[in-house]
Amino acid sequence: MAGETVLVVEDEEDIRELVRYTLTSAGYRVSEAASGEEALRRARANPPDLLLLDLLLPGLHGLDVCRLLRADESAREVPIVMLTARGEDSDIVAGLEAGADDYITKPFSTKVLTARVKAVLRRSGEQVLPEGEAIAHGSLSIDPRRFEVTVGGAPCELTATEFRILHYLARHPGWVFTRTQIVEAVRGEDYPVTDRSVDVHIVGLRRKLGRAAERIETVRGVGYRYRE
């Protein structure tokens, strides 16, 4: 049994009851909130292991709850999964850019809900690889100290921006990042990376990686992730 605590923030009682039953059956401890304001109070007073957050809440919107928690020192590390009836690409991207770790659209499968919660909790428990540590998955090797990438032992010549994008994704295997998040992570004073240019860099990166290009997956309408 899992044992982690999940704070479910949902104003519709029938959905809240379904989620509570599903998660308690999977071994999680569940606490509940029916508004954004109540969610903030509970999360700040006793941070849960995960927050399952509806967007369309009475009073404070779910996106605002997410942003406020990410700016709060006591609760900023709590993983947040958004549960929403709004499944447009723009809504999903807005949620991820507000700080959510994942999203589930309504209506949802209880099996998918449990699997997503389990996956996010697992990722949050994993230590992100240190900046200077070499990464090796299959034929692909990334050495940030030497600024070097090899595929099957053969050197792969990347631009500085391509290297930074690859290294950033590889340090967070399985995590989905929007284009904006990638830009914020890799750009510097000398690297004029924009949302629109991320796709261009990814195309170039995949071409140069050859058989290892499959490591970089496109998450349609959202962004990219690195497959370990």
State residue 98's pLDDT score.
Answer: 83
151 to 83, 137, 146, 213: CA distances (angstroms): 39, 10, 15, 10
Mean pLDDT of 35-56: 94
Please state which of the ranges 14-23, 110-119, 121-130 shows the lowest mean pLDDT: 121-130
- Per cent of the chain over pLDDT 90 is 48
Mean pLDDT of 191-212: 82
More reliable by pLDDT, 35 or 87 = 35
Contact between residue 94 and residue 86 where contact means Cβ atoms under 8 Å apart: no
Rounded CA separation 101/80 (Å) = 5
Inform me whether the pLDDT recorded for 74 exceeds 50. yes
Per the document, the length of the chain is 228
Instruction: State the pLDDT confidence band at 189, using cuts at 50, 70 and 90.
Output: very low
Question: Amino acid letter at 26?
Answer: A
194 to 164, 187, 189, 206: CA distances (angstroms): 14, 9, 13, 18
CB-based contacts of 227: which residues, under 8 Å, 6+ apart?
Answer: 173, 174, 214, 215, 216, 217
Rounded CA separation 218/199 (Å) = 10
Average pLDDT, the chain: 86
State residue 119's pLDDT score.
Answer: 80
State residue 88's pLDDT score.
Answer: 74
State residue 1's pLDDT score.
Answer: 44
More reliable by pLDDT, 130 or 172 = 172
Cis peptide before 47 (omega within 30 of 0): no
pLDDT tens digits, 142-167: 998 888 999 999 999 988 888 989 99
Angle at 183 between CA 178 and CA 188, to 5 degrees: 165
**DSSP calls for 102-168:** EEEESS--HHHHHHHHHHHHHHHHSPPPPTT--EEETTEEEETTTTEEEETTEE----HHHHHHHHH
Mean pLDDT of 54-61: 91
Question: Amino acid letter at 223?
Answer: G
Inform me whether the pLDDT recorded for 192 exceeds 90. no
Kindly provide the residue ranges of all beta strands, DSSP E only, lying in the chain, ordered along the sequence. 5-9, 29-33, 50-54, 80-84, 102-105, 135-137, 140-143, 148-151, 154-155, 177-178, 216-219, 223-226
State residue 99's pLDDT score.
Answer: 82
Question: Amino acid letter at 226?
Answer: Y
Mean pLDDT of 180-207: 75
* Structural domains of the chain, with CATH: 5-125 (3.40.50.2300), 135-226 (1.10.10.10)
Instruction: State the pLDDT confidence band at 140, using cuts at 50, 70 and 90.
Output: very high
Q: What is the pTM of this model?
A: 0.63
